[in-house]
Amino acid sequence: MSIHIGREIEAELRRQGRGATWLAQRLYCDRTNVYNIFKRQGIDTVLLQRISDVLNRNFFALYCPREGAGAENNSTDS
């Protein structure tokens, strides 16, 4: 599973009807930095936490399988 986190962030921002300038103001960075974030396939976890807080969405959930899914395959009990 390949996740392009920048595209996910951009899509969520658009879904909320907000723009790059709005996000840049909340992250205390320049608008061009936000456009650079949109291009990234990977991202620093501290920055992702800040973005998650600002957009009120847990982007980390994209990287975690749903609870209980595949639990049988991950069991170490024999």
Residue 72 lies in a domain: no
CATH number at residue 35: 1.10.260.40
Residue 67 lies in a domain: no
**pLDDT tens track for 1-41:** 689 999 999 999 999 999 999 999 999 999 999 999 999 99
Contact 21, 56 (CB under 8 A): no
Which residues constitute the domain of residue 31? 5-59
CA–CA gap between residue 5 and residue 63 (Å, rounded): 10
Residue 16 lies in a domain: yes
Q: What pLDDT sits at residue 67? A: 65
Residue 30 lies in a domain: yes
Residue 31 lies in a domain: yes
Residue 76 lies in a domain: no
Q: How many domains does the chain contain in total? A: 1
CA–CA gap between residue 45 and residue 60 (Å, rounded): 9
pTM: 0.81
DSSP H or E stretch at residue 34: helix 31-39
49 three-state secondary structure: helix
Residue 28 lies in a domain: yes
